[in-house]
Structure 1
């Protein structure tokens, strides 16, 4: 059964399966704007992290079933609480006892041999498949619900799908959760109630008591989750938690995985101070600690080997350049376990994001950072060649928002936006019509339409064409200046001129359409004709020109609409990791190219009640995005 049929069984499912959020629908734009404003107030005046200092908090250990285990499997998923089909597909893959994963068909020549782990597979690197066991630790990296946090939204978009994917387990995996900006939009109220009270979510067991955590892993590895709270600083209770629960326990040779809510290392290209908080944490909590006996800071001998995040809904990995790498080397860096890695994997369920604009090299911390104490010179991290989606596919996918034949075309994917555009142009055409009436000496727009002659019609058509062409002329003119390049028109002025061009065109079409109307007809009919033409052209042509403007914008919030406006619910994934008995960490970036859209119901019985859960009729195929990445443990002094 499809999503519509599943909703009919909401009472038996104990949650209501949801459609993906239509981010450019007027309702969502307005509601999200209000919540963002309220969140800013919370961030400045009602920071719940300060209150969390009163809650007991300690060190977590994993796996729960065997804290003394010599190895562990870990899953990382982020940005998951959106439409049911995508979220449920990822949750089902996470919950499978064993996951069969298709490997790449061949290893790229520039990469050298794949450094595959001892995973029990009989296949050689670069071919065949792997069979990976379910993880005993699940890390959710932020934005567990969209568009804004609430108890009902968590139940329908996150808890319900995950409880259905894994109703129970004889050895419950530990679930630790970071809040993202969407979790923060209610000030963390619902987040703390759901994830910080030791409750189970299906077969997963929560254990944290705050919005941040530290987990002791086998083989002297540590997992740290940071709550940077809407780009803010580290609050004092959080700092004291890590300085008391983590830093004193770090020994020379210990290795740390740090999870944060957003990839500030990527943002540092445009905002030189974006990485400051994470760099401060690395220097002052992981690598050094304060010795009260001497009054000085001393080295711990530990280091961060892997940075993990979501927020950007794609997969991208940055690898550290080593001193012996040739100057100017980029994503073709050969595999080397000594490299530190920075990974973004926000494929848990929300709309897919583009990758073709990612910077190729990131010097961290940037030279322009205003930190008083920082590492120098900056350490360069290079973007790996394989992203998901890859660069070519990313460029192709963004164009879907402006393709009328695509199912992801802006007004088709966001019907509410087409309605908004229609209403806007009904108002706009009346304003333009009043101006036209003044220019022709008529009393009102209706009279102007009725009495317009061929010269007036020609003037309207020329004005519409000029409004459309003007942004191109201005953009290309700037491109002819020294140091500039030709580029499509963008900017807010372009969007306004495009919509004015549509309104003037609607007036011209009405002039032509009104010619056969007998003079005896009431002027109301002409007015209705004018509004109808404006609504149709606004919904179709206005939306199309808006989509083109979005497509031609290459930075900022508007550029993000290229993909969020399409709400692409295929191309999902997560990261599975393995800490082996020898202390090496192996990353398996996994992709679900297509999500499940056909489900059947299965009964679940427990001691108290019986209920049903949706199960994929055919589990989505899972494949490796790139060959497994091996990270060595911090070398001992």
Structure 2
């Protein structure tokens, strides 16, 4: 066990002077734009990393090595009045404006909602994906650590120093947890601004007041739960009593993905519940996760299943969520070991109607947010058109139309669209609809190239001497066909999303910054837990330095309204 008094007091870090502007030299980091998820190099890089993680994840897995690190659970149950406030946020570390908007609200001494005062949490629980798109020291510094340090540069002088615990998500895992462990699991207590870091591994167990516990399990890419992690939680579980209640943090909401993607997705979570927590006799009342970038709560007779991934990353659709879940799914092997229960969708943010409306923004936002993607499509379409026009101008029988250049371009188009519909993470789920939509999208793009070749052969440019046709195609035809091809891709995403294909890409390509969310939880003196889901309709995009503020106040303050609201009435767990 590790508590607040078991370690020597570490010297406070040297805090830089308060900045007078948003110059990176003054604030100590470079604010980042939202990630353009359809950028060609990023698509290739993340696809390869996801594939490597699936194929070779066991060889890159550092969880076994964590057995050499301190393996104690943490005791934060001692409070003067028997109650505690704590916060939960996940999927942060994307664009500066969205990430810092949430961090600024989390750092405020208190939030006033509907006349209720909600104090800042003594614990800040980060639920995964603390950085995008790929984990590295610089990425953490610019996209997560810097903004959170600016939001709470020093601990409050009249309150206990808040503690931060972080659970890795799949993007934290892409470098094998190297940068994550360096930032969050230091040998001595570390600091991210006014928050201190205390954990020693990528998973943790924390005892809270009122007979509550937080168990955070690290289970990524469908991997097994490693033996050191199981031993860690078995040791912590020996201190859990039958009257205790548990909040279980997971990297992703497998209760949803088991219904929408793969029925076996929930198996590892079910195994953890059955073998580690069930023998204690304690009740697991709340399961909470990020990974899906919205807020959704499923309610059942025994527990609440909450997804809250609104810490800063792009918004994800909610209108595709199932209205009811059966957990564990009845078609999995765990059905014979665990009793399945039904959970109803109680609340989602944004609403289903608003989510559908936002999905139509794909036609406008995809080319604006991803100019490199439109350029790539323009190049592919131009080369395909020139190959078609060259083959058609030769005349002859049908066999001569399929020249080597044209055949190569057709294979590139069809291969690219199928891979786009079946990303590496979904390659083993064998959904025929992914193949059908991928091929349909590919043939639609080829049809657009045929139309372009027909028009091209009726213009004088195709008869000019070389390289005249290539110059005209690159300067005039390329930008036009690139825009049309992007609009065709947007139409494909809109249609395919209705059939659970490329739903993530439909919204990732738009990089919607607004509609963010986090949780503020309160454990009362009587042991009851109240969950306050907090939403932000519109983030702040204008910030000004506050050089004369108190040392612990945010370095940057909003220069336009930043309003938080309750997503739904407080959820009371007796």
**Which of the five TM-score ranges fits, normalised by the shorter chain?**
0.7 to 0.9
1:132-158 CA-partner distances (Å, limit 9, x unpaired)? 111111000000000010000000000
1:47 aligns with 2:3: no
2:85 aligned to 63, 66, 73, which one? Answer: 73
1:290-341 CA-partner distances (Å, limit 9, x unpaired)? xxxxxxxxxx331100000000000000101x4xxxxxxxxxxxxxxxx410
Contact 1:141 1:180 in 2 (8 A): yes
Q: Give the corresponding residue for 1:575.
A: 519
Residues 238 and 7 (structure 1), Cα distance of their counterparts in 2 relative to 1, 3 Å cut? farther
CA distance in 1: counterparts of 2:23 and 2:328, whole angstroms: 52
Q: How does 1:379-458 map to 2 (within 5 A)?
A: 379-384=341-346, 386-402=347-363, 406=364, 408=365, 410-439=366-395
2:447 aligned to 497, 501, 509, which one? Answer: 501
1:510 aligns with 2:456: yes
CA positional deviation for 1:200: 0.6
1:178 aligns with 2:167: yes
Q: Give the corresponding residue for 1:229.
A: 220
CA distance in 1: counterparts of 2:185 and 2:296, whole angstroms: 30
The alignment partner of 1:393 has SS state of helix
CA distance in 1: counterparts of 2:445 and 2:106, whole angstroms: 46
1:516-544 CA-partner distances (Å, limit 9, x unpaired)? x9x8x645334433444441232111111
1:256-315 CA-partner distances (Å, limit 9, x unpaired)? 000000000011114222111111211221120xxxxxxxxxxx3311000000000000
CA positional deviation for 1:492: 1.5
Residues 353 and 597 (structure 1), Cα distance of their counterparts in 2 relative to 1, 3 Å cut? same
CA positional deviation for 1:505: 2.2
Q: Give the corresponding residue for 2:249.
A: 259
CA positional deviation for 1:67: 4.4
Residues 192 and 41 (structure 1), Cα distance of their counterparts in 2 relative to 1, 3 Å cut? farther
Q: Give the corresponding residue for 2:116.
A: 130
The alignment partner of 1:368 has SS state of coil
Q: Give the corresponding residue for 2:419.
A: none
CA distance in 2: counterparts of 1:220 and 1:488, whole angstroms: 47
CA distance in 2: counterparts of 1:371 and 1:612, whole angstroms: 48
CA distance in 1: counterparts of 2:31 and 2:327, whole angstroms: 42
Give unpaired runs (5+ residues) of structure 2.
1-19, 402-432
1:250 aligned to 240, 248, 257, which one? Answer: 240
Residues 209 and 67 (structure 1), Cα distance of their counterparts in 2 relative to 1, 3 Å cut? farther
Q: How does 1:57-456 map to 2 (within 5 A)?
A: 57-62=71-76, 67=79, 69-101=81-113, 128-169=114-155, 170=157, 171-197=160-186, 198-245=189-236, 247-269=237-259, 270-288=261-279, 300-320=280-300, 322=301, 339-371=302-334, 374-376=337-339, 378-384=340-346, 386-402=347-363, 406=364, 408=365, 410-439=366-395
Q: Compute the TM-score of the two structures, normalised by the length of structure 2.
A: 0.85
CA distance in 2: counterparts of 1:414 and 1:91, whole angstroms: 26
The alignment partner of 2:263 has SS state of coil
Contact 1:490 1:552 in 2 (8 A): no
> How many residues are matched?
516
Residues 492 and 224 (structure 1), Cα distance of their counterparts in 2 relative to 1, 3 Å cut? same
Contact 1:587 1:630 in 2 (8 A): yes
